[in-house]
Amino acid sequence: MEKVFVKKGHCNRLYAGHLWVFSNELQDVPKLEAGELVEVMYQNYSYGYAFYNPNSLISCRLLNTKDENIESLLMDRIKSAYQLRLRLLPNSKIFRLVFGESDILSGLVIDKFEDYLVIQILSYGYEKRKNILVDVLLKLFPDTKGILAKSNSKLRDIEGLPDRDEVLFGEIAEELLTVDEGIKISINLSGGQKTGYFLDQRINRTFLRKISKNKTVLDCYCNSGGFGLNALMGGAAKVTFLDSSESALLNAKKNLELNNYDNYELLAGDAFELLPNLIDSGNTFDIVVLDPPAFAKNKKTSATAASGYSKLNRLGIKLLKDDGFLLTSSCSHFIDDETFYDLVVNEVAKSGRTARLVHSAFQSPDHPVFFSMPETKYLKFLVFHIS
């Protein structure tokens, strides 16, 4: 097996358990095929085997093993990940089964939606071994009706992987009717964003139930209606759902109908355009939810992203009644916890109001944070009481 050597001065992070070796950390970048197995070395010390990609900034994705049997590795790691989810979410039939680096399967994401599996392959190593992956999944989950590989991630472009969705096994239902934390939902596995449904906010969404009785709620970037549906389940007087995607709003409407709710309003458009209009029209809400997509895709855009988050929270605060709650999130890894907290409280201070942080959290437990990779902690969720 080909060996690749790490430069002096780049060892501590790897020794501490980080799973990525960047191209500028290697003494040489050998011209091997993308997805090949290599052994990563520093002098005479071995970090074990890794999937290699000469065309990516992440040249090596460490596997934390010296066993070349990838089928056995996948079987053990996915089985272990599944057992953890059963302990964390024992009553759920939908969850993130594999969260890449956090399950020591760098570049592999798998969501389980009842008897369907939706995967994102972000590593050339697993792309070359898709057949092995499917075989392992069918052995572990023999009742699987369909396995869908989705490619809607820019990380595949960085890895040099083709941009296409494909059914790897069985058939994918046009619509899956299931339950998320007691709420009936319809999921479009093929047409939905990411893997079809956002699971990382599921526990955070339930917090809204506790504070929404008889309240008016604005759910910005509502997608399929997760936060607003939880507000209605908590007894909200009315929820306004806002999203720029017509298809997302149609899905939210379907979910509202499934749960027999009729005290809602749907608004289609960009939040940065619609929120000022709501302010100018004198609208106010007891609770404002801000759950935008990631504004910062990399370090270079973090300053612009911070400005965007500041503006969005400024608008949200203006729409908030006295004695109201602001539920605000960021899923940008490059905006850290302290930065995000500071920019929100700065906007509160500028508004002349006061705020108390009453709750904070991060992504749901089926998206665990790997101790040696801060990259796996990305979601910030803050709840402020503002008066």
Collapsed DSSP state (helix, strand, coil) of residue 216: strand
Q: In CATH, what number does 198-386 get?
A: 3.40.50.150
DSSP per-residue letters across 94-118: EEEEEEGGGGT-TTEEEEEETTEEE
Q: What is the pLDDT of residue 152?
A: 75
Domain with CATH 3.40.50.150 in the chain: 198-386
The structure tokens listed for 122 are: 């972000």
Q: In CATH, what number does 3-62 get?
A: 2.30.130.10
Please pick, among 60, 220, 222, 331, the residue that the annotation labels catalytic.
Answer: 331
Q: CB-based contacts of 21: which residues, under 8 Å, 6+ apart?
A: 4, 6, 10, 14, 40, 47, 50, 58, 59, 60, 61, 62
Q: What is the pLDDT of residue 11?
A: 87
Q: What is the pLDDT of residue 194?
A: 65
Q: What is the pLDDT of residue 154?
A: 81
Q: What is the pLDDT of residue 47?
A: 96
Is residue 51 within 8 Å of residue 63, measured between CB atoms? yes
Q: In CATH, what number does 70-173 get?
A: 3.30.750.80
Quick one: which of 112, 115, 76, 70 has its CA closest to 95? 112
The structure tokens listed for 137 are: 């999944």
Domain with CATH 2.30.130.10 in the chain: 3-62
Domain with CATH 3.30.750.80 in the chain: 70-173
Measured between its terminal Cα atoms, the distance across the chain in Å is: 64
Q: What is the pLDDT of residue 192?
A: 67
Quick one: which of 100, 171, 30, 125 has its CA closest to 367? 100
pLDDT tens for the chain, residues 1 to 387: 899 999 998 888 999 999 999 999 999 989 899 999 999 999 999 999 999 999 999 999 999 999 999 999 999 999 999 999 999 999 999 999 999 999 999 999 999 999 999 999 999 999 999 999 999 999 999 999 999 999 878 888 888 898 889 999 999 998 999 999 999 999 999 876 666 789 999 999 999 999 999 999 999 999 999 999 999 999 999 999 999 999 999 999 999 999 999 999 999 999 999 999 999 999 999 999 999 998 977 878 889 999 999 999 999 999 999 999 999 999 998 899 999 999 999 999 999 999 999 999 999 999 999 999 999 999 999 999 999
Is residue 360 within 8 Å of residue 381, measured between CB atoms? yes
Beta bridge partners of 51: 37, 61
State yes or no: is 331 an active-site residue: yes
